[in-house]
Amino acid sequence: MGIPSTSIVAAALSSHRRRRHRTNVLNQIEDEMDALRLRSSNTADRAELGLWA
């Protein structure tokens, strides 16, 4: 997947580019990473909204 074994989750989510794999389990991992990315961006948006509202 191109992610170093020493990488932390935050670094993997911020720098990883989605790929389509032939193996289903790797595509499922990509889906989970996308869900985490979306969840973390929504959390950041809500926190920022509190600062500006």
User: What are the DSSP calls for 8-50, one per residue?
Assistant: -HHHHHHHPPP---SSHHHHHHHHHHHHHHHHHHHHHHHHHHH
pLDDT of residue 11: 76
pLDDT of residue 28: 95
pLDDT of residue 7: 76
Structure tokens at 52: 């500006």
pLDDT of residue 46: 61
Structure tokens at 47: 């926190």
- pLDDT tens track for 1-53: 667 788 777 777 777 778 888 999 989 989 998 898 888 777 666 655 555 55
Domain residues of the chain, as ranges?
9-52
Question: What is the distance between the alpha carbons of residues 42 and 28, in angstroms, rounded to a whole number?
Answer: 21
Torsion angle of alpha carbons 3, 8, 11, 17, nearest 10°? Answer: 30
pLDDT of residue 23: 93
